[in-house]
């Protein structure tokens, strides 16, 4: 590889890594992982592993010199081969060991992976058109983003759940179709091969005039789905969608401004994980982080708002008063409670037990996971998690009932159900 090509490649990978670190947390990102117990070669440009999700990235940063077909052969085809090779190494060979930059060598958790996504990021600029999907003979689907699209989508859908939700719905929309984004300013001096390429494979094809950012605008405004005008093409094999300018219209709309302002509360969860959880070398911290980061941006917004209200409440409460704030998100229950610096470790542990037992019993064990977060007025945080816990025996339940009665908990308890809208009034 020529020196300048290697430099461009490194610059491209660094660009993608920085965006991924910021949006999806470096903790889950493996830049340029190598087959540590094999040939030591780089498996792919970036690997993200989060719970049961694996995302394989190939990044290409070749210079576009005006010939689309030659450029695609030098970029997309090479990226497809790299991604397929990475998949084969990770899922078809024996045990594979990889290394995160901040941790020791570890085994790739092949058996826990249930969802696999393959993404090519093509950083070349100046193209008049390009494919945004690749459907393979074995029914595998590859997502293709250009530079601007990847940056925008990763910044707007900056949680793994939100990002995956978009990828899944995008794949459902475009599977088994040829999809191209075409510039509204399509050059008039395209060569004959490029014009032929654009006109071929009309059947089961979609041409989007604009950019994929414009498609993202429709996704947001249509309650995180794609409108029927795009998906319902049962009567036509060939569809042209002109959505040029939709992203700029959306970003300057009152809804986008409302969303950006409302999302500010949600970053409480991100900051909590980054600065209070993953920094601690304590048991279960990584599992607590995964549970919290499994919440999408809207759910994190609800948690952030709940904490803001709770923290204001405890700062205004009489000295020594114990406050609790409960929220639930599917099988996850989250409880904030306040504690005091003068408490010793034994008192704090007893409070953790009391909070967990009373809430688990009150809600009749319907939550698979409880995360308890103790908060002092500084604030300082302390954490505990109970996952896949069993029902308490009858004797323990009687003790819990007595504790509830003695403390007066849940007697005037009004459960707060918070519905968070994407674009709040």
d(CA 419, CA 422): 10
Neighbours of 139 (CB within 10 A): 8
In a shared domain, residues 117 and 164: yes
In a shared domain, residues 57 and 22: yes
Asked whether residue 398 is domain-assigned, the answer is: yes
In a shared domain, residues 363 and 318: yes
Range of the domain at 345: 265-407
Asked whether residue 73 is domain-assigned, the answer is: yes
Quote the pTM value.
0.92
In a shared domain, residues 243 and 274: no
In a shared domain, residues 244 and 288: no
In a shared domain, residues 274 and 341: yes
Is residue 82 within 8 A of residue 121, CB to CB? The reply is no
Tell me the per-residue pLDDT of 206-225, one tens digit each, with 9 for 90 and over: 889 999 999 999 999 998 99
**How far is CA 326 from each of CA 35, 358, 400, rounded to the nearest angstrom?**
45, 12, 18
d(CA 346, CA 338): 15
Give the angle subtended at the CA of 363 by the CAs of 360 and 364, to the nearest 5°: 80
In a shared domain, residues 180 and 233: yes
Asked whether residue 424 is domain-assigned, the answer is: no
In a shared domain, residues 40 and 169: yes
Asked whether residue 288 is domain-assigned, the answer is: yes
In a shared domain, residues 188 and 269: no
Torsion, Cα 209 210 215 216, to 10 degrees, reads 170
Asked whether residue 420 is domain-assigned, the answer is: no
Strands 133-135 and 141-146, sheet pairing: antiparallel
Token pair belonging to 14: 């660094």
Last residue of a domain, one of 221, 252, 283: 252
d(CA 43, CA 35): 6
Token pair belonging to 231: 């998906």
In a shared domain, residues 234 and 269: no
Asked whether residue 171 is domain-assigned, the answer is: yes
Is residue 249 scored above 60 in pLDDT?
A: yes
Q: Read off the pLDDT band of 417 (50, 70, 90).
A: low
In a shared domain, residues 11 and 38: yes
d(CA 306, CA 212): 35
Asked whether residue 63 is domain-assigned, the answer is: yes
Asked whether residue 291 is domain-assigned, the answer is: yes
Chain mean pLDDT for the chain: 90
pLDDT at residue 177, as a whole number:
83
In a shared domain, residues 102 and 219: yes
Is residue 22 scored above 60 in pLDDT?
A: yes
Report the domain count for the chain.
2
């Amino acid at each position: 590889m020529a020196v300048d090509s290697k430099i461009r490649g490194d610059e491209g990978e660094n660009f993608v890594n920085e965006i991924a670190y910021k949006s999806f947390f470096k903790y889950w990102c493996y830049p340029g992982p190598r087959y540590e117990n094999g040939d030591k070669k780089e498996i792919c440009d970036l690997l993200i592993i989060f719970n049961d999700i694996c995302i394989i990235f190939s990044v290409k940063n070749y210079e576009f010199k005006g010939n689309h077909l030659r450029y695609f052969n030098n970029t997309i085809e090479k990226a497809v081969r790299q991604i397929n090779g990475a998949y084969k190494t990770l899922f078809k060979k024996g045990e594979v060991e990889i290394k995160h930059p901040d941790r020791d060598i570890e085994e790739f958790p092949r058996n826990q992976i249930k969802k696999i996504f393959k993404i090519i990021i093509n950083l070349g600029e100046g193209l008049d058109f390009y494919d945004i999907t690749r459907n393979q003979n074995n029914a595998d689907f590859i997502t293709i983003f250009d530079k601007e699209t990847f940056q925008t989508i990763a910044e707007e859908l900056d949680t793994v759940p939100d990002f995956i939700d978009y990828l899944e719905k995008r794949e459902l929309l475009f599977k088994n179709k040829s999809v191209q984004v075409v510039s509204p300013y399509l050059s008039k001096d395209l060569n004959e091969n490029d014009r032929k390429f654009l006109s071929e494979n009309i059947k089961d094809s979609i041409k989007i005039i604009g950019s994929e950012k414009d498609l993202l605008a429709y996704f947001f405004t249509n309650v995180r789905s794609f409108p029927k005008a795009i998906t319902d093409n049962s009567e036509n094999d060939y569809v042209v969608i002109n959505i040029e300018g939709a992203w700029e219209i959306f970003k300057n709309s009152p809804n986008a401004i409302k969303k950006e302002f409302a999302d500010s509360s949600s970053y409480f969860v991100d900051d909590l994980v980054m600065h209070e959880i993953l920094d601690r070398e304590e048991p279960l911290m990584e599992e607590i982080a995964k549970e919290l980061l499994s919440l999408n941006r809207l759910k994190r917004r609800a948690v952030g708002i709940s904490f803001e209200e709770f923290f204001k409440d405890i700062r205004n409460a009489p000295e020594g008063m114990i406050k609790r704030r409960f929220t639930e998100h599917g099988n996850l229950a989250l409880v904030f409670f306040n504690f005091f610096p003068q408490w010793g470790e034994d008192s704090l542990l007893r409070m953790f037990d009391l909070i967990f037992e009373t809430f688990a019993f009150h809600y009749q064990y319907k939550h698979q996971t409880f995360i308890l977060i103790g908060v002092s007025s500084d604030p300082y945080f302390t954490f505990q998690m109970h996952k896949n816990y069993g029902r308490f025996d009858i004797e323990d339940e009687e003790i819990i009932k007595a504790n509830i009665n003695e403390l007066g908990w849940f007697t005037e308890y009004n459960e707060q159900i918070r519905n968070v809208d994407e674009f709040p009034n």
